[in-house]
Amino acid sequence: MQPLLQQFTQFVINHWILWSVFAVVLIAVIFEEIKGKLNAAPSLTPHELSMLLNHEEAIVIDIRATTVFVKGHILSSQNIPLPTNKNLDEIIKRLTPKKEQHIVLVDSMGADAGQIALKLYETGFTKVSILNSGMNAWKQAGMPVTNK
């Protein structure tokens, strides 16, 4: 068994760049999995969101900056820019009468919406989702965008 371990060790030493890349990729995959598990809200693909919009009265909240929102957004989405504490209170206040409806949060790349989703869950919202990879994924999927 010792020669096999020595061969493996020698292989790792000879191909240290390959093993370094492998380690970085492995750590990135583990990090993304953990991040996904810690996210309070389930994420939707652009196609799943499209189906949801067609079959349910879902509310889409776009949390990107207003200057970005006006350049292109999902039809019927509401723009409430990335919340400060004041804006977050505004989101909760505006949406409280619609707590039972499905709420989908949209940002640029899907990174900022998780914290807001968690706050919504904490205040009693039961159906909150996030658009996976945000508006970037929506556009890449060829889904319709409006600037009106």
What is the structure's pLDDT at 35?
A: 67
Look at residue 129 and tell me whether its pLDDT is greater than 80: yes
Given the structure tokens 């879902």, which residue do they identify? 58
Please give the span between the terminal C-alpha atoms of the chain, in angstroms, as a whole number: 69
Report the pLDDT averaged over residues 126-144. 92
What is the structure's pLDDT at 25?
A: 95
Report the pLDDT averaged over residues 99-118. 85
1 confidence band (pLDDT: 50, 70, 90): low
67 confidence band (pLDDT: 50, 70, 90): very high
pTM reported for the whole predicted model: 0.70
> Which stretches within the chain are classed as H helix?
2-14, 16-38, 46-55, 66-69, 85-95, 113-122, 134-140
